[in-house]
């Protein structure tokens, strides 16, 4: 049974890769940079986006919200008056635990791609499967919160390896935790040597300028030849 | 494609149910009560087990540790000098995001079931798929940490509905968070009316007696007729 299951899932990943490339071609044509933002539930993805997307100088941003159920996050982002579309994964299978390229593709018609420079895709809160499904993004970023413990890179190495940026969030809570930031950074370096890291508090705003600059740099990539 | 995918996954769940029932029969024969413990990554499952399993009067406990990779949690539990077995889900598919009945079944020979009254299965940190795969457990408990935000029951309703006990952890951090416990409890009640809830801090020990009593009550169930 196990071997069959693996083969089925490999087929699913192959199909996903084909659709992801189609998404990427559409994004390139519209000259929109796409960031796939991932984390465990409650690490602060939406709060971070609320804080950074308002202050992106000259960058027209939009958001695609992935959740098993509810439109709570999309409602929060909509208050920033930027384009936002919600994808609910619940109809899939009692709730898919990740976005796949086909879900993202089905949402594209509802987004004004030609009017955007940056599209952030906020994935379902999960440190495993989102890392396995490309959705057509240019870059991947993840958030790990200091309340989650220093061992997370060792327990979920694929997620840390798959990302171009690791944002360490909730550092305002450090005085109240038994948490060793150096140990976390050491473990991140062990599973993904040289990956860019930022220490932030989405709540107090500390470190968020660095995230904004990273996003602006991601957008200012050279245009794709026609 | 989507319809095919759903059908394949329904087959997977059917096969899982069959193996889960076989596990349950083995557990019943050995008179061991099995708790499936679930949460998001970093919510405090292992820390809670470290604190409560030592002090369970007259109950012989064992642990089955589920992780994508590493044996960090099993190593922590082993220090309590109780039987512990690690299941790594990484070989499955770049890392399965949940335990299934077959993974648990493959680990049973390494556990001294006849010498246990209680087996806690610590699932992979994930609020989606673990709720969909029964593994042969008697009862299910989940931990939600107050650092994760009050909206989690609305965003991951299946997990909250599937559990017999919701443990709200890290309440020692409440003075440092913008977090409304009543709002969380209200949302838990909305998705799973009447479910048992406990407010605890695995770090300070607050509320853990209640968890210990719940575990002892779970074990003292009437023996299954032969």
B203 touches chain A (CB under 8 A): yes
> Are the beta carbons of B2 and A72 separated by less than 8 Å?
no
pLDDT tens column, A34-56: 999 999 999 999 999 999 998 79
What's the distance, Cα to Cα, between the start and end of chain A in Å? 47
Token look-up 């991140």 returns A188
The pLDDT tens digits for A181-224 are: 999 999 999 999 999 999 999 999 999 999 999 999 999 765 54
Residues composing chain B: 226
Helix, strand, coil percent values for chain B (each to nearest 5): 45, 20, 35
Please check the confidence at residue A142 and state whether its pLDDT lies above 90: yes
Q: Name the residue facing B147 among A131, A145, A178 (closest C-beta).
A: A145
pLDDT, residue B220, reads 78
**Average of per-residue pLDDT across A72-91:** 92
CB contact under 8 A, A94 and B1: no
Q: Is the minimum CB–CB distance between B100 and chain A shorter than 8 Å?
A: no
Three-state DSSP at A37 gives strand
pLDDT of residue A1: 41
Record: contact A69-B156, CB cut-off 8 A: yes
Residue B41 to residue A170, Cβ atoms within 8 A: no
Put simply, whether B105 touches A (Cβ < 8 Å) is no
Q: What is the mean pLDDT of residues A149-163?
A: 96
In A132-161, the residues whose Cβ lies within 8 Å of chain B are: 132, 145, 147-149, 151-152, 154-158
For residues B97-121, give the mean pLDDT.
Answer: 95
Mean of pLDDT over chain B: 92
User: Which pLDDT does position B90 carry in this prediction?
Assistant: 80
B6: pLDDT strictly greater than 80: no
Burial of A31 (0-12, 13-18, 19+ CB in 10 A): middle
* Contact indicator for B102, B87 with CB cutoff of 8 Å: no
A127 CB neighbours in chain B (<8 A) are: 41, 125-126
B68 touches chain A (CB under 8 A): yes
Is B178 part of the contact surface with chain A (CB cutoff 8 Å)? yes
Say which range, A24-38, A95-109, B85-99, has the weakest mean pLDDT. B85-99
pTM of the model: 0.92
Backbone φ and ψ for A179, nearest 5 degrees, come out as: -135, 135
Nearest to B72 among A5, A128, A151 (CB): A151
Task: Characterize B14-39 residue by residue with b for buried, 16 or more Cβ atoms within 10 angstroms of its Cβ, and e for exposed.
Answer: ebbeebbeebbeebbebebbbbbbbb
Q: Which stretches within B95-198 are classed as H helix? A: 101-107, 152-155, 157-162, 181-191
What average pLDDT does the segment B168-177 reach?
97
Q: Does A204 touch chain B (CB under 8 A)?
A: no
Q: Is A190 on the interface with B (CB under 8 A)?
A: no
Which residue of A1, A96, A147 is in closest CB contact with B42?
A: A147
Put simply, the answer to whether B41 touches A156 (Cβ < 8 Å) is yes
B46 close to B73: Cβ distance less than 8 angstroms: yes
User: For testing the chain A interface, which of B15, B20, B22, B41 should be mutated: the one with the most A CBs within 10 Å?
Assistant: B41
- pLDDT band at residue B91 using 50, 70 and 90 as cut-offs: low
Any idea which residue has 């050279």 for tokens?
Answer: A222
* pLDDT per residue as tens digits for the range B57-68: 889 999 999 999
Q: Is the Cβ pair B157, A69 closer than 8 Å? A: yes
Asked if B100 and B16 touch (Cβ cutoff 8 Å), the reply is yes
CB contact under 8 Å between B155 and A67, yes or no, is: yes
CA atoms lying within 13 Å on the CB side of residue A200: 27
Over residues B20-35, the mean pLDDT reads 97
Of A1, A129, A170, the CB nearest to B147: A170
What per-residue string of b and e applies to A166-198 under the rule 16 or more CB within 10 Å gives b?
bbbbbbbbeebbebeeeebbebbeebbeebeeb
CB contact under 8 A, B93 and A132: yes
pLDDT above 50 for A79: yes
Task: Quote the DSSP letter at residue B36.
Answer: E
User: Which of B4, B42, B68, B202 has the most A C-beta neighbours within 10 Å, making it the best mutation to test the interface with A?
Assistant: B42
Residue A119's Cβ-count burial label (10 Å; 0-12, 13-18, 19+) is: buried
Burial B82-118 (b: 16+ CB within 10 A, else e): bbbbbbbbeebbbbbbbbbbbbbbebbeebebeebbb
Pair of tokens at residue A31: 């000259």
Whether residue A15 lies within 8 A of chain B, CB to CB, comes out as yes
A121 Cβ contact list (under 8 Å, min separation 6): A34, A35, A36, A37, A63, A64, A66, A99, A104, A135, A137
What is the percentage of chain A residues whose pLDDT exceeds 90? Answer: 85
Identify all chain B residues contacting A2, using CB atoms and an 8 Å cutoff.
92, 102
Q: Do β-strands B118-122 and B33-39 pair in parallel, antiparallel, or remain unpaired?
A: parallel
A41 in contact with chain B, both atoms CB, cutoff 8 A: yes
Q: A1 and B102 in contact by Cβ < 8 A?
A: yes
Min Cα separation B149/chain A (Å): 6
Q: Are B170 and B203 in contact (CB under 8 A)?
A: yes
ipTM for the complex? 0.90
């Amino acid at each position: 049974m196990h071997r069959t299951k693996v083969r089925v899932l490999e087929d699913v990943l192959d199909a996903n890769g084909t659709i992801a490339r189609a998404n990427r071609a559409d994004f390139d044509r519209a000259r929109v940079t796409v960031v796939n933002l991932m984390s465990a539930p409650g690490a602060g993805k939406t709060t971070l986006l609320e804080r950074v997307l308002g202050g992106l100088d000259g960058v027209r941003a939009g958001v695609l919200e992935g959740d098993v159920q509810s439109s709570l996050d999309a409602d929060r982002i909509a208050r920033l008056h930027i384009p936002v579309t919600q994808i609910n994964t619940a109809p899939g299978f009692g709730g898919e635990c990740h976005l796949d390229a086909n879900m993202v593709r089905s949402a594209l018609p509802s987004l004004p791609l030609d009017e955007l420079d940056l599209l952030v895709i906020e994935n379902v809160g999960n440190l495993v499967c989102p890392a396995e499904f490309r959705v057509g993004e240019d870059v991947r970023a993840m958030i790990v919160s200091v309340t989650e413990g220093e061992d997370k890179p060792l327990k979920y190495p694929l997620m840390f390896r798959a990302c171009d940026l690791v944002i360490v969030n909730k550092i305002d809570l450090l005085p109240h935790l038994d948490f060793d930031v150096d140990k976390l950074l050491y473990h991140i370096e062990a599973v993904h040597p040289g990956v860019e890291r930022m220490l932030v508090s989405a709540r107090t705003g500390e470190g968020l300028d660095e995230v904004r600059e990273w996003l602006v740099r991601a957008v200012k990539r050279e245009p794709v030849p026609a």
